[in-house]
Structure 1
Amino acid sequence: MATLDTDAPLRPWIASYPDGIVWDVQIDTRPVHEQVLAACARNPSAVALDFLGHTTSFGDLAKKIIAFAGALQHQFGVKKGSRVALMLPNTPFYPIAYYGVLRAGGTVVNCNPLYTVHELSHITANAGADVMITLDLQQIYEKAEKLVEAGHVKSLVVCHFPDALPLVKKVLFSLAKRKDLARLSASPIADRVAHFSAMIARNETPDAVVIDPHNDIAVQQYTGGTTGVPKGALLSHANIAANMSQIDKWGCGLFYPPSKVVAVLPFFHIFAMTVCMNVPLCNGTQVVMLPRFELKALLNIFARTRANVLPAVPTLLNAIARADSVDTAQLASLEVAISGGAALSDEIRADFGKKSKAILAEGYGLTEASPVVCCAALRVPSKPMSIGLPLPGTDIRFVDIDTGKPVGIGENGELQVKGPQVMSGYYGNEEASRDAFMDGWLRTGDVGHMDEDGYVFLVDRIKDLIICSGFNVYPRVIEEALMAHEAVEETNVIGVPDEYRGEAPVAFVKLKAGHTIGEEALKKYLSERLNKIEMPKQIIFKDALPKTLIGKLSKKELREEYAQTRAKK
């Protein structure tokens, strides 16, 4: 257990904590793999994982974690400090591999299977990951194969996808979709491929590994890279465990049986890794997985399992809210939806509320904080449009963007964080590590303020701030105004060069099906909600807006598109 530093700055949020939650509670920093194996031992017959109806008990999960850890040590020489890359969608293989790597003493390096080979090459080469664990689905395997051929990875451990399916689906997949599987025996790197199932079957007992939770790295998590080359955030065993403990305390029992947590967000993303996998499994709670988001499949999960907790991103909640096919009966089992990853608009919140009586709690975090920093209450209503309150054991402050001096209540500044969940730095990048902190506080790059009750409100990202004629313009303010129009389904605002004002906002808009409105009519609507400085220079209508691989609206592609269009003129 870690003892928190209570030499406190002012913490107005403590008075607003829901009943039963204490800020200076002891934080559990036991390594996550020890916690999950303990949970398996407490109730081995309970269901741990549900994947499309194929279930894995906690007892079976423990056996496979231990066997896989032993094989990693004895076949591949994995030891403390070894980097092992995971390139897996949500399947039972992921938690077995993740906890197995940690039990063997290794460090997990998460890789998004949808990344390009170029992006994966940077991550695996930078991390020095000798071993990669992946699937034999051709579209994923061929990327792993290229990484080995290029010398970025030495060996592959390959999981046979049909083994994750229920018996009937396994047979049908083998018959109807066999062409989707890679022919490993014909692979040019066949001699460097090990089979996951064979490694488990060896049933080897792993050697003991003594973990120093505060100094040994559990996960080297690469940031998204939307503003440059991805950096590997070094998250210790204590960082990961501390954030689990903080979320557990904040949940007031939400993440314990008989709850069931839906994992439609990918485990390779830090939000899902912590909230959808680590927290529930370490509490003996069932995790119901989907390999990707499909609305019909998600609704089937609620009907079949009566799951009650849904961590989500706003685009997923928006898809549910806007679907004519979804009614309240289909979401009747849902008690709590937790939105993270991007700002949740008031319109999405209101539309979702028409489809579900669940508490919709917005949270906030970043990779460098393992990731959760703030969250709205999960058992009772919270202040609208707020990202909630700092979690137990977490300190925050807001500082002036230009001077770095703390600002007062209600004044906008950069959000900065201290707490046991905060990383030590970035792997092999001392300059970026120094820049990430100010006087020991983690810089988030997000601008916002705290009210007198300690509730936190975000305005925008510093990097997205638009300087118009010397005035600060926040894209999120314009986006909120646009989203209030009945015809607008999605919107994203960027800053573009402007000869007169220096910069000016440009809005990209996707309209709802069956709705039409012109640029001038939409600007007239905005004129009642925005000042002249905030008014978009141009509104561009599109059939679809670009998104990141976890479903966040992305400004990067829009900036590139606008620059290319401007260059042609």
Structure 2
Amino acid sequence: MAVNKRFPPPPSVYGHARPWNSSIKPELLHVIFARQAREVPDAPLVEFLGRSFTYRQLYSEARRFAAGLAERGISKGDRVGLFLPNVPTYVAAYYGAMMAGAVVVNFSPLYTVEELSHQVEDSGTKLLVTLDSPLLLPTATKVLDASSLQHLIVARLADSLPRLKSLALRTLGRRQLAPVPQRSDVLEWSDVLAEWNWVRWLDGKEPDLRVGTVTDLALLQYTGGTTGTPKGAMLTHGNLSSNAIQVDMLDPFDRAESDIVLGALPLFHVFANTCVLNRTVVRGGCIVMLPRFEAGQVLKTITRTQPRAFPGVPTMFQALLDHPDFTRTDWSALRVCISGGAPMPGPLREKFESSTGVRLIEGYGLTESSGVVSTNPYQGLRKPGTIGQPIPATQVLLLDKEDPESLAPDGEPGELAVRGPQVMQGYWNLPEAQATTFAEHNGEAWLRTGDVATIDDDGFLTIVDRIKDMIAVGGFKVFPSQVEAVLLEHPAIKEALVIGRPDAYRGEAPAAYVTLNEGESVSGDELKAWLNAKVGKHERVEELVVREALPKTMIGKLDRKALRAEVLG
């Protein structure tokens, strides 16, 4: 195995629909959106809980929002924040801000006042768009009072719903809505749009909404914070449009078919931002958008709307399998499900595929790469347990785990490094991080991922673990993911996390935490004995704890950092 061989492999084993050396032509994201609005104006871009929004409608809203931003002094390079769940307003606000030359900043709807305030200040966000939800608006208002934020724009959920649902929410569901504060620095979305002066446009004085270059910043995307304080990855129009085009190139299916993607992943996360939003606009397709992931609603929506693709994280697919409506769902239209964000357990993949007949493939990416680096091919050769082959125009190599200035020795895993048009420019306000985030080889800058990997002769990548997660046991390096993979072979175990705990003699010792499948009953001591008989001496856990639940991140990934903080303090 030539583990430090640079990609690409021989063309005969490259499994993606387009060649690795395909040409990528980056564009301004809002220019791509404008082109689709001209070419397929009446095609649905978003289907939201039974109501359709066409390209023409959302493009019009985006233009009017851009004009409203200009009226408030928002200009090129200013930061506009989106504190929104998956709603149609997100699409108009995202592309509209870019039309105005602004940089979008995504904020998770799960953020506390403190988390949101910190990132608003760090990014210098001037204006924030949110929803009249009791889970969002009060938090956003407190941040408006406690930060340098200048304006808050509030969209009303009822305005995005079908007529009867909208009426019911306005009349019977008022407790599900938060009152919009009556103050000069809080504006309603509809009022901002109404201020677009169409006379100026008719007179030929429309603001130039296409100004800019592909090297301009489009998005500040904060990392999930699993390796420390969240950092704002600086992603340009070229980075994001390239990755959307790269992902679209992976699709081998008939392009005459309707392109419908299920959007249950949160759009504020880079995975969905590229694979659900930008890729769909590049294709001229439709997003079946759900405000959040709820297994029963997802299953009903699959039957009702017949999507062709469903990107998700492993816990989503597990939740679908566990739901009583799973066997009553019509899976016939789905061509592929794409899993990312966390390793896909083999038993989960096998059960999902055998139950649905839909291919579930695993891919890999990170915030700093605009979303996607590699994936298993949608058809043909794949290698379960790997993260597939790099996508078109993406290079990878392996660095020495102890010395990133050198390549990994032959036959050994190394830190995965990436080059491609989707790789970020650096971290916002953290120029000193550049030296540790990128490594230089042969005069080229490579993004260090922090993930330890191998590359086989066909160019398939396997993630072994994260450098910071490796456990030092008496001079040996233990990879938690390898121990977790063994645990998941036990039929009673549903989820598993392994962390290192301080040990006076060995430095650290592995400890395992698991949840069980429904109806299973087995003790931690029994599982510990079973596991320790199957792993190396230095990998044996000193304790195995059975829990009701394991901590997860905002998109449903198992959260090793949170578990470590909980257990070790």
Using a 3 Å threshold, how does the CA distance of structure 1 residues 276 and 409 change in structure 2: closer, same or farther?
farther
Equivalent AA in structure 2 for residue 269 of structure 1? H
Aligned pair partner of 1:139 in 129, 135, 140 = 135
- The answer as to whether partners of 1:131 and 1:156 remain within 8 angstroms in 2 is yes
Q: C-alpha distance in 1, partners of 2:148/2:453?
A: 41
Q: Give SS of 1:191's match.
A: coil
Equivalent AA in structure 2 for residue 194 of structure 1? L
Matches of residues 374-413 of structure 1 in structure 2 within 5 Å?
A: 374-404=374-404, 405-407=406-408, 410-413=411-414
Equivalent AA in structure 2 for residue 126 of structure 1? D
1:319: Cα distance to partner?
1.1
1:549 and 2:554 aligned:
yes
Equivalent AA in structure 1 for residue 297 of structure 2? A
Equivalent AA in structure 2 for residue 41 of structure 1? R
Matches of residues 456-475 of structure 1 in structure 2 within 5 Å?
A: 456-475=461-480
Quote the RMSD (CA, aligned, Å).
Answer: 1.8
1:503 and 2:508 aligned:
yes
Q: Give SS of 2:116's match.
A: helix
Aligned match of 1:68: 65
Q: C-alpha distance in 1, partners of 2:18/2:226?
A: 36
Using a 3 Å threshold, how does the CA distance of structure 1 residues 17 and 481 change in structure 2: closer, same or farther?
same
Aligned match of 1:419: 420
Aligned match of 2:451: 446
Q: C-alpha distance in 2, partners of 1:198/1:86?
A: 17
1:528: Cα distance to partner?
4.0
Using a 3 Å threshold, how does the CA distance of structure 1 residues 163 and 210 change in structure 2: closer, same or farther?
closer
- The answer as to whether partners of 1:256 and 1:284 remain within 8 angstroms in 2 is no
Q: C-alpha distance in 2, partners of 1:127/1:256?
A: 42
Q: C-alpha distance in 1, partners of 2:494/2:59?
A: 45
Deviation readout 1:419-452 (Å, 9 max, x if unpaired) = 1111111111111122110101100000010011
1:211: Cα distance to partner?
4.4
Aligned match of 1:428: 429
Using a 3 Å threshold, how does the CA distance of structure 1 residues 446 and 396 change in structure 2: closer, same or farther?
same
Deviation readout 1:475-506 (Å, 9 max, x if unpaired) = 11111111111111111111111112111111
Aligned pair partner of 1:178 in 171, 174, 180 = 174
Aligned pair partner of 2:160 in 164, 177, 190 = 164
Using a 3 Å threshold, how does the CA distance of structure 1 residues 52 and 316 change in structure 2: closer, same or farther?
same
- The answer as to whether partners of 1:14 and 1:454 remain within 8 angstroms in 2 is no
Deviation readout 1:190-239 (Å, 9 max, x if unpaired) = 21111111222334455114544343100011111233221111101101
Equivalent AA in structure 2 for residue 182 of structure 1? A
Q: Which runs of 5+ in 2 are unaligned?
A: none
Question: Which segment drifts farther, 55-64 or 10-19?
Answer: 10-19
Aligned match of 2:184: 191
Using a 3 Å threshold, how does the CA distance of structure 1 residues 454 and 381 change in structure 2: closer, same or farther?
closer
Deviation readout 1:273-332 (Å, 9 max, x if unpaired) = 010111012211010011111111101111111112000001101112233431275323
Matches of residues 78-97 of structure 1 in structure 2 within 5 Å?
A: 78-97=74-93
1:259: Cα distance to partner?
2.1
1:58 and 2:63 aligned:
no
Q: C-alpha distance in 1, partners of 2:369/2:384?
A: 24
1:299 and 2:295 aligned:
no
- The answer as to whether partners of 1:85 and 1:109 remain within 8 angstroms in 2 is yes
1:79: Cα distance to partner?
1.3
Q: Give SS of 2:152's match.
A: strand
Aligned match of 2:493: 488
Instruction: Count matched residues.
Output: 553
Q: Give SS of 2:384's match.
A: coil
1:252 and 2:249 aligned:
no
Q: Give SS of 1:130's match.
A: strand
Equivalent AA in structure 1 for residue 66 of structure 2? A
1:525: Cα distance to partner?
2.0
Using a 3 Å threshold, how does the CA distance of structure 1 residues 559 and 473 change in structure 2: closer, same or farther?
same
Deviation readout 1:76-108 (Å, 9 max, x if unpaired) = 212110100000000000001000001111000
Deviation readout 1:158-197 (Å, 9 max, x if unpaired) = 10111111111111111222123222245xxx21111111
1:201 and 2:212 aligned:
no
Aligned match of 2:322: 322
Q: C-alpha distance in 2, partners of 1:47/1:143?
A: 33
Aligned match of 1:27: 24
Identity of aligned residues (%): 38
Q: Which runs of 5+ in 1 are unaligned?
A: 1-7, 565-569
Q: TM-score, normalised by structure 1?
A: 0.94
1:529: Cα distance to partner?
2.5
Q: Give SS of 1:520's match.
A: helix
Q: C-alpha distance in 1, partners of 2:16/2:464?
A: 29
1:362 and 2:362 aligned:
yes
1:512 and 2:509 aligned:
no
Q: C-alpha distance in 1, partners of 2:154/2:245?
A: 33
Aligned match of 2:531: 526
1:138: Cα distance to partner?
2.0
Q: TM-score, normalised by structure 2?
A: 0.94
- The answer as to whether partners of 1:369 and 1:423 remain within 8 angstroms in 2 is yes
- The answer as to whether partners of 1:85 and 1:129 remain within 8 angstroms in 2 is yes
Aligned match of 1:3: none
Equivalent AA in structure 2 for residue 226 of structure 1? T
Q: C-alpha distance in 1, partners of 2:264/2:212?
A: 32
- The answer as to whether partners of 1:410 and 1:452 remain within 8 angstroms in 2 is no
1:137: Cα distance to partner?
1.1
Using a 3 Å threshold, how does the CA distance of structure 1 residues 436 and 119 change in structure 2: closer, same or farther?
same
1:389: Cα distance to partner?
0.4
- The answer as to whether partners of 2:532 and 2:541 remain within 8 angstroms in 1 is no
Using a 3 Å threshold, how does the CA distance of structure 1 residues 360 and 409 change in structure 2: closer, same or farther?
farther
Deviation readout 1:50-81 (Å, 9 max, x if unpaired) = 0101110111122111111111112x212110
Q: Give SS of 2:379's match.
A: coil
Aligned pair partner of 1:125 in 121, 127, 130 = 121
Q: C-alpha distance in 2, partners of 1:36/1:450?
A: 37
- The answer as to whether partners of 1:257 and 1:284 remain within 8 angstroms in 2 is no
Q: C-alpha distance in 1, partners of 2:363/2:50?
A: 30
Q: Give SS of 1:219's match.
A: strand
Using a 3 Å threshold, how does the CA distance of structure 1 residues 63 and 209 change in structure 2: closer, same or farther?
closer
Higher relative contact order (CA 8 A, sep 6+): 2
1:46: Cα distance to partner?
1.2
Q: C-alpha distance in 2, partners of 1:266/1:513?
A: 27
- The answer as to whether partners of 2:400 and 2:409 remain within 8 angstroms in 1 is no
Aligned match of 2:150: 154
Using a 3 Å threshold, how does the CA distance of structure 1 residues 144 and 256 change in structure 2: closer, same or farther?
farther
Deviation readout 1:235-279 (Å, 9 max, x if unpaired) = 011011111111111223578750210000000000000101110
1:340: Cα distance to partner?
0.6
Using a 3 Å threshold, how does the CA distance of structure 1 residues 19 and 425 change in structure 2: closer, same or farther?
closer
1:380: Cα distance to partner?
3.0
Using a 3 Å threshold, how does the CA distance of structure 1 residues 328 and 162 change in structure 2: closer, same or farther?
closer
- The answer as to whether partners of 1:446 and 1:461 remain within 8 angstroms in 2 is yes
Q: C-alpha distance in 1, partners of 2:76/2:16?
A: 41
- The answer as to whether partners of 2:261 and 2:309 remain within 8 angstroms in 1 is yes
Equivalent AA in structure 2 for residue 246 of structure 1? Q
Equivalent AA in structure 2 for residue 314 of structure 1? P
Equivalent AA in structure 2 for residue 517 of structure 1? V
- The answer as to whether partners of 2:30 and 2:98 remain within 8 angstroms in 1 is yes
Equivalent AA in structure 2 for residue 479 of structure 1? E
- The answer as to whether partners of 1:68 and 1:96 remain within 8 angstroms in 2 is yes
Q: C-alpha distance in 1, partners of 2:319/2:381?
A: 23
- The answer as to whether partners of 1:255 and 1:285 remain within 8 angstroms in 2 is no
Deviation readout 1:132-178 (Å, 9 max, x if unpaired) = 00011122001110111012311011101111111111111112221
1:236 and 2:223 aligned:
no
